[in-house]
Amino acid sequence: MMRRGIRSRTRRAALQALYQWQMTGHTAEELHAQFKESPPPGGFDPVFFDALVGGVIIDFEILDTEIASFTDRPVTELDPVERAILRMGAHELRSMEDIPWRTVITEAVELARTFGADQSHKYVNGVLDRVARRLRPD
């Protein structure tokens, strides 16, 4: 079991990579190479990073459909930081069942507090809570 700190740093790096992907269209491979070349302070888990970034890039349309039922506007009109956080959280809820749903939401809210707009952490919390209820009814 990895320390929570490395997973949190990896989520932060993945958020930065996904934001960049949304803005530039870089591939998962290009993003991996960039973050491997200049890793975040304290390091990160490249396998978890690839699972997050690659999974979101591959499944973003499915994730957007999952998120869209709980947003007040089209996913493409969401703030890019919020959109990246919601996609990553929805991906973890959908594809990484070994990670508790509460952990996914807590980490996403923390990213929104750090990188999002003033009240975006509340929005992220509300959307991912409803996504979690649908994807993980137990």
Domain boundaries, the chain: 4-135
Q: What is the pLDDT of residues 9-47, one digit of tens each?
A: 999 999 999 999 999 999 999 999 998 898 888 889 999
User: Could you give the CA distance from residue 81 to residue 79 in angstroms, rounded to a whole number?
Assistant: 6
Using alpha carbons only, what angle is made at residue 117 by residues 86 and 25, rounded to the nearest 5 degrees? 50
Angstrom CA distances, 85 to 1, 97, 138, stand at: 24, 18, 23
Tokens at residue 106, please?
């807590």
Q: What is the pLDDT of residues 76-114, one digit of tens each?
A: 999 999 999 999 999 999 999 999 999 999 999 999 999
pLDDT (0 to 100) of residue 42 = 85
CATH superfamily entry for domain 4-135: NusB-like (1.10.940.10)
pLDDT confidence tier of residue 4, bands split at 50, 70 and 90: low
User: Could you give the CA distance from residue 21 to residue 91 in angstroms, rounded to a whole number?
Assistant: 16
Q: Are 52 and 19 a contacting pair, CB within 8 Å?
A: no
User: Could you give the CA distance from residue 5 to residue 8 in angstroms, rounded to a whole number?
Assistant: 5
Q: Are 110 and 137 a contacting pair, CB within 8 Å?
A: no
